[in-house]
Structure 1
């Protein structure tokens, strides 16, 4: 057994023996001094502990010190009743605290007992009980939080074990404190009982067995009883205070002294208010001699604290600047430059009011609505749009970037409105000619005075923030397929898995990999098909993914499963669908040109045939656009994806549907045929 283990073991056994074996007076004095020293040490440790777990052995120490104090009380009681003496320590406390008067000492002793029993012990017991209850109730939530952080990769397995162990230790600690606080309460009650025994029993023994007079017996045993009670209660009061400090400490970054000075004096200006209040109190009969020194001290303290905080703030700023300089100089600083934002919106300095809320700009609110709109229409969680000013742009110019590359740009006049003609121009409407950036329509910038007249003439009048919001929305929709990668796909899959775990487990990774699912979603978004109905998409992929791994073919199956959605997208009000169809000869030509390879199937047309298809299809599309109709191409399911491959580069926004993607009740009207 190690030396420290031997000392602790012998000490515990010695405490038990103290209750049975009579002790010499000198040894009792020595043990009383040890009791006071231990109590002071425990209080200081409790004050400097940053958290309850830093002093997790406290419940056991509380039990040991309580037993030690009770054993001392039994030894001193035996000595008082047997020899009418209990050593210099008890006698000194009995005479010194009471000032030689028994009544005063008795009152002081009762006050200490009341303070410890009713205030400190009762309060710490209640706090420990409530803390234990709430800690146990919060354990499942904390465990789930640790599991979530571990699954997301924020912490490793070792850190998770340490956090779980900390939670268990915290629950054990408060549970132990809840029980240990009962010992302190019982100790206070036992002290009162032993005081009554010493006083009454000693008075009787002194008169009957020791032959003392009534006055001498009362004086002797009263002083010894009060001294014994004070020597026991003062260490008990210190340890009870330590218990209260331990159980009432919340999350902290320092010890008690740091918390008090850092939080109580955090606002130096409030010290001036306190100084003024105390100074005003000096104008009363209390007098300025008693109050103004404290007021001056508070004012000086507030001034010194204010200067200290300003100096610390300056030092912090210098430290931050030095750290930034060091980060720039370090080789690792280049890594941060490799990060590419998915979407960026940059503007010249003249458009800063658009994003400045203090100048009435609501661009940030509009971007939030854009993300909500895209989520509802496309089923896509749009990444955070980075907004920044760029002095290299013209003052009224803005650009939209996708993954660091500029995909659109435009110019705004903040004090004007964008007016688009209804088809018949009004000669009285004058402005600055321009082009509407989202759809490329001719428009003019008009001032505030012309706005009302333009609206009466049928013009569509839009303010600059709405122009930007519309343009940004169209760009996000057009490039939505570039914004969904494997990480974004995984987030969508996890969202579906929360409600349909069996579906996701059946699809990934058994039937398809996450990358293949991402390719299918990308192809759907590329043709502006919403992926919001992920359950239907995953059901279809799970059914047909067992027979083919070609993502193009799987996309066709998914489109057919989403027939109701696609039909409503292009014929929302149930009217007939006016479409362009392909001639039989052209469909046969495309089917004969299909080639197979390891990556799937593709169309291999000669340049002359490809040029003819582009030309014939362009003629039909332009004819419908001139008549104000949306051009839609309708083909057989067999060649839909191949025709899409042919026209993808030149007519990316042209909807190409198959008969299987339309609901049976929709009326289809052919308004043009493409032939070779």
Structure 2
């Protein structure tokens, strides 16, 4: 056993023995001074702890100090009643603190007991009880948070174990404090009882045994009783204060002194207001002018010094931040940050800032959330986070959209206007600023609030600027969705599917196809605006035909045929009939003969004259359908569909090309035009 362990054991046994064995007066004086010193040490330690667990021995120490104080009370009571004296410490407290007045001494003692018992002890007991309850209630949530951080790789097993131990220790500490605070309450009650015993017993013993007169006995034992009470209650008050400080320590970055100076005096200018108020009270009220003006001057000086120190600190922090930025620029890692390219960026001029500023009523962020939800439902695509920023290089009302750092679209808005699109028959009474609707390229007008109702009555489609941006951004995302699906995004979709269809995913990847092959198929579907939301059907088809071919073009055709019901519903808007432009026999023969097969796959090699003729014929047929208000759709045989699509996407990207196998058998097809050579 170590020497310190042996000393603690002897000390605790000695405390118990003090209640039974009489103690010499001089030793008692020393122990009373030791009690006061120990109480001061505990108070100062509790003030300098940053968190309660740094003083985790406090509940046990509280019990030992309370027992020590009660043992001293018993020893002093024994000496007072037996010998009529209790040492110089008790005598000094009784005569000096009371100032020679017995009543004053009693009042001071009672005030100390009331402050300790009602104010500090009662409050500390309640705080400890509530803290213990809330700490226990919060334990499951803290444990789950640690498990989540561990699973995410943010902490290692050792850090997780340490944090769990801290949580357990914190719960044990506050539970122990809840019980230990009762010791302080009992100590205050015991002090009152011992005071009454000393006073009444000493008064009787002084007259009966020591043959003192009534006045002498009352004076002598009153002084000793008050001294004994004060010399025990002052350390008790210090310990009670330390208890309150420990249990009320909340989230903190420093000790009590640093928290007070950094939080209470964080606003130096407020001291000027306080100084002015105190100065006015001293000048215009009967309050003494000297202390009021002195305090006012001290507050002004303190505010000035604090403001100066605060400004100096801000300058130092700014210089430190600049140095850190310079170091970051010089470091090799800073160059790596410049290589990052956002998938989607939306930049706008300073005149369009109200669109994104929620304090000015802008709801662009909410609309982008809805756009991402809409794309997930319509395309089955998880749109990456859209980076929004202002750009002073743009015109005030201009905005641009970038895909992977490259601009793909731009537009202009007038925030105090509405965009009105004609129904086909213009109304001369509807006037405004001519423009082009950015999403679909239709002619439109920017009209003001006064013209809005007239335009709606005339059949115009009227939309506000945020809706214009949202529509434009949605169409851009749909048009470039195939560029947003990389291997990483495909991996995320696969992981999500695997949670419900693990067998299907394990069969397909990586045994049959790689993630890159699946990504190419998904990108080809999105490029032609085919939703990939039904991943189960897509993966089932790839698993069925992946053994036969690794050509992603052909696999995409198989998937499209498997998605025939989805494709049919996508283009069949009304009724059971579909109006299409069919491919003539001569063109089908020409394309079939132009297909070249190589080791790297198949491709279409057609002469330029024939290509130009095909473009012209398609343009003529689609123009007729657009004039009739119909959506142009080209229908070809399954064997040439993908080659015809490859040929047409160079000139007319928005015209869908379907095959007969991609339509449901019950769909009635009406040919309203033929593309032929």
| TM-score range normalised by the length of the shorter chain | 0.7 to 0.9
Match status 1:110 vs 2:118: no
Partners of 1:519 and 1:12 in 2: how far apart? 79
Counterpart of 1:324 in structure 2 is: 325
CA contact (8 A) 1:537 1:561 kept: no
Counterpart of 2:386 in structure 1 is: 385
CA contact (8 A) 2:604 2:643 kept: no
**Which runs of no fewer than 5 residues in structure 2 stay unpaired?**
none
> CA RMSD of the aligned region, Å?
4.2
Partners of 2:20 and 2:643 in 1: how far apart? 101
Query: Residues 55-454 of structure 1 correspond to what in structure 2 (within 5 A)?
Result: 55-282=55-282, 283-347=284-348, 367-390=368-391, 398-410=399-411, 436-441=437-442
Partners of 2:300 and 2:539 in 1: how far apart? 75
Pick one of 503, 508, 512 that aligns with 2:500.
503
Partners of 1:596 and 1:56 in 2: how far apart? 78
CA contact (8 A) 2:455 2:462 kept: yes
Partners of 2:452 and 2:165 in 1: how far apart? 69
Partners of 1:265 and 1:158 in 2: how far apart? 40
Counterpart of 2:16 in structure 1 is: 16
Partners of 2:211 and 2:489 in 1: how far apart? 96
- Provide the secondary structure at the position in 1 that maps to 2:338: helix
Query: Residues 22-37 of structure 1 correspond to what in structure 2 (within 5 A)?
Result: 22-37=22-37
Partners of 1:629 and 1:388 in 2: how far apart? 39
Partners of 2:124 and 2:593 in 1: how far apart? 85
Partners of 1:250 and 1:68 in 2: how far apart? 30
Partners of 1:653 and 1:155 in 2: how far apart? 50
What per-residue deviation string (whole Å, max 9, x for no partner) do you get for residues 351-388 of structure 1? Answer: 66766778887655654554454344334443333344
**Which runs of no fewer than 5 residues in structure 1 stay unpaired?**
none
CA contact (8 A) 1:503 1:538 kept: no
Report the more deviating stretch, 481-490 or 588-597: 588-597
What per-residue deviation string (whole Å, max 9, x for no partner) do you get for residues 133-178 of structure 1? Answer: 1111111112222222333333333333333222222212111111
Partners of 1:211 and 1:427 in 2: how far apart? 124
- Provide the secondary structure at the position in 2 that maps to 1:35: helix
Q: CA separation of 1:443/1:2 partners in 2, compared to 1, >3 Å: closer, same or farther? A: same
Counterpart of 1:607 in structure 2 is: 606
Q: CA separation of 1:607/1:636 partners in 2, compared to 1, >3 Å: closer, same or farther? A: closer
Pick one of 509, 512, 525 that aligns with 2:509.
512
* Normalised TM-score (structure 1): 0.83
CA contact (8 A) 1:603 1:642 kept: no
Q: CA separation of 1:415/1:255 partners in 2, compared to 1, >3 Å: closer, same or farther? A: closer
- Provide the secondary structure at the position in 2 that maps to 1:251: coil
Q: CA separation of 1:134/1:50 partners in 2, compared to 1, >3 Å: closer, same or farther? A: same
CA contact (8 A) 1:113 1:188 kept: yes
Q: Quote how far apart the aligned CAs of 1:545 are.
A: 3.7
Q: CA separation of 1:581/1:316 partners in 2, compared to 1, >3 Å: closer, same or farther? A: same
Partners of 2:132 and 2:25 in 1: how far apart? 43
Partners of 1:661 and 1:352 in 2: how far apart? 46
Match status 1:45 vs 2:45: yes
Q: CA separation of 1:144/1:425 partners in 2, compared to 1, >3 Å: closer, same or farther? A: same
Partners of 2:312 and 2:113 in 1: how far apart? 48
Partners of 1:216 and 1:111 in 2: how far apart? 26
What per-residue deviation string (whole Å, max 9, x for no partner) do you get for residues 82-130 of structure 1? Answer: 3222221122112222222333222222222222122211111111111
Partners of 1:17 and 1:555 in 2: how far apart? 93
What per-residue deviation string (whole Å, max 9, x for no partner) do you get for residues 189-233 of structure 1? Answer: 222333333333333444444444443333333322222222221
Partners of 1:209 and 1:560 in 2: how far apart? 117
Partners of 1:594 and 1:503 in 2: how far apart? 41
CA contact (8 A) 1:16 1:71 kept: yes
Partners of 2:208 and 2:504 in 1: how far apart? 96
Partners of 2:536 and 2:224 in 1: how far apart? 87
Partners of 1:72 and 1:487 in 2: how far apart? 74
Counterpart of 2:535 in structure 1 is: 537
**Count of equivalent residues:** 666
Partners of 2:275 and 2:7 in 1: how far apart? 54
